[in-house]
Amino acid sequence: MKQLLLFLVGLVFFSTQASSKDVTIGMGNFEPYYIAEEHGGIFTEIITAAFKEIPDHDPVFIFGRPNNRLWQDFNRRKVDAVSNLFDSVEVEACRSDPAFRFRDVAISLAEKNLTLEKVQDLRGLNIISFQGAKDFFGPEFSETVEDSVFSVASDPGVQAQALWDGRVDVSVGDMFIFLNSLKNLSGNNVPASLFKIHDILPVVYTHMGFWDTELCAKFNKALQKIKDNGEYEKIYDRYLRLYGVTSSPSG
């Protein structure tokens, strides 16, 4: 009887596995949101956690696409789903609820003891940011930096190095990407504690995109579940701790 029960349990398990459908998902190429060699990263872990609540579908990640390539591949239906879909990207597919959170912040050297409480406090400072930042952050930011020394970098590592070398007062961009770039600074092992994070920019969320509207609805339910049970925030907090940051900026 026991052997029969084990056989039936095994049969159900393998039947479920056999009926699971692979879902190819276009993934980006910037750490720590995507870490291809580990099949990890913040966004990867969020998707994986959500799909654990969707047992009849298995995510198959396709890493290494820059944003524009991601969206093009999705529109051409080369993948079943896409991560990191911005509101500004026009697609006819189902757009999930807000799934991925970016934290754009201003960062200064702690020893400079700068106090930045709002975007206007950047006025007059020497600032470095990423290409397209003026358009991305909007009129208030653009007008403020017109009265500042403002430069852009093609790589986030350049922003971190410029701040570390004292060539600029403030670096403006994504918090996690900045923290990740510290490991590659000349001087090595530069701790996050030597920098001050100023939370003066709005939180930005992006979405998953799905051609299968039924799967999109399932993903939304699963996403809400991992937000409600705290798993979503634990993923972000775990990466903050990896970089030696003990608490997340409010908001």
pLDDT digits (tens, 9 = 90+) for 227-251: 999 999 999 999 999 998 876 554 3
Q: Tell me: the pLDDT tens digits for 52-109?
A: 999 999 999 999 988 889 999 999 999 999 999 999 898 999 999 999 999 999 999 9
- Does 162 have pLDDT greater than 70? yes
Domain match, 57 and 180 both: no
Domain match, 111 and 231 both: no
> Does 22 reside within a domain?
yes
What is the residue whose two structure tokens read 């190429």? Answer: 29
> Does 248 reside within a domain?
no
pTM: 0.88
Average pLDDT over residues 136-151: 94
Domain count, the chain: 2
What is the residue whose two structure tokens read 């702690």? Answer: 110
Of 206, 205, 195, the closest CA to residue 172 belongs to 195
Domain finish residue from 182, 198, 214:
198
Domain match, 79 and 160 both: no
Domain match, 150 and 129 both: yes
- Does 7 have pLDDT greater than 50? no
Can you give the residue range of the structural domain that contains 154? 104-198
How many Å apart are CA 120 and CA 117, to the nearest integer? 8
pLDDT band at 9 (very low <50, low <70, confident <90, very high): very low
Tokens of 155: 């790589």
pLDDT band at 5 (very low <50, low <70, confident <90, very high): very low
Of 149, 97, 153, the closest CA to residue 124 belongs to 149
* Helical axes 213-228 vs 231-242, angle rounded to 10°: 70
Start-to-end CA span in the chain (Å): 57
Domain match, 208 and 87 both: yes
Domain match, 148 and 166 both: yes
Burial 216-243 (b: 16+ CB within 10 A, else e): bebbbebbeebbeeebbeebbeebbeeb
